[in-house]
Copies of this chain bind each other. A is one copy, B any other.
Amino acid sequence: MSTIRDVAKLAKVSVATVSRVINESGYVNVKTKQKVEEVIEELDYRPNDVARSLFKGKSKMIALFVPDIMNPFFPELARAVEDITNKHGYTFILCNTDNDNKKEMAYMNALLQKSIDGMILVSNTMTASQIKDTKVPIISLDRKTRSDLISVTVNNREGARQAVGYMKELGCKRIAHIAGPDSASSARSRMEGYLNEVQEEKWFSNSFIRAGNYSIDEAYKVTKTLLKDNPNIDGIFVANDLMAVGVLKAAASLKIKVPDELSVISFDGIKLGETTSPALTTMAQPIYHIGKRAAEILLEKIEKPGTVIQSEEHQVQLIIRESTREKRLKE
């Protein structure tokens, strides 16, 4: 690799001049500029980003923290963030945290040592004190952390409400809820929305709520007992699509027909929900879009430190597929 000095020597100018042409900063004579560019071409010179970073204290890298990229909700988010950061000339770093605060902090410190320019967090465990003395821009995505971070989220509560409302319209009389992990703000909000819609009903009972953890297997298990304990349930609002897959499996194993005997609606709108059978009716998040917005906001904060930015809450949208159906009233 040739350095700026090599270029300078060959072009018979100083490194300062070379620096000026590659950065298009300051004055430089047209002819010398030309000469320098020729030499750069000839030597196939590329500036060393590490040296640049050292000088500037910035690395042109941003990181995304997700619990686990193998959870199908996150690839789309990651893709969005990568696309945007890449377009702005930043390098994208992916960190799987397994919701483990230790891991999160380890990553964070490692990245800080690398002069990371900003981070986007999908996290429940990060506390305010852990990030308070960090001066690099950080924003929260999909969830709200226990801190005052700017966040890009979705109207979980209202979306949940609409989902449950839709099931009521369909004629469901006993609607259960498979909840997400209580540690996730999104899960708590969805539960709230469910309760808002259902708490006043005379049929409602706390036993209609079962705790899942946003994973298929756990949802399968709890749904099975739920349905055994309460055979009269005719609708389930599931806190995310992934768990709904488990719910579908549980229903199938109990020979309960979806949607004929049981309507299932969930949340997220991941691709996976289109391929199940029946395909999932769901409240779809604009996943790519919120990832995009998070990245855009972060870059804004990085590149113009002065500007104030605001949290954003985006809208979800009901997508009706095959797992819900209007109940036929007995005549």
Contact = CB atoms under 8 A, between A and B. Distances in A.
Nearest to A81: B94
A73 to B, nearest CB: 11
Nearest to A242: B275
Interface in A106-120: 109-115
A54 B46 contact: no
A96 interface: yes
Contact of A113 (B46, B82, B110): B46
Contacts of A70: 75-76, 79, 271
Task: Specify which of A59, A275, A277 lies most central, judged by the most chain B CB atoms within 10 Å of its CB.
Answer: A275
A148 interface: no
A203 B14 CA distance: 75
A261 interface: no
Nearest to A113: B49
Contacts of A110: 49, 91
A92 interface: yes
> Which of A50, A110, A271: most chain B CB closer than 10 A?
A50
A68 interface: yes
A53 interface: yes
A93 B91 contact: yes
A94 to B, nearest CB: 5
Interface of A: 46-51, 53-54, 59, 68-70, 72, 74-76, 78-79, 82-83, 91-96, 109-115, 216, 245, 271-272, 275-277
Given A46-B113, A91-B114, A277-B277, 6 more contacts: A49-B115, A79-B96, A83-B96, A91-B93, A276-B276, A276-B277
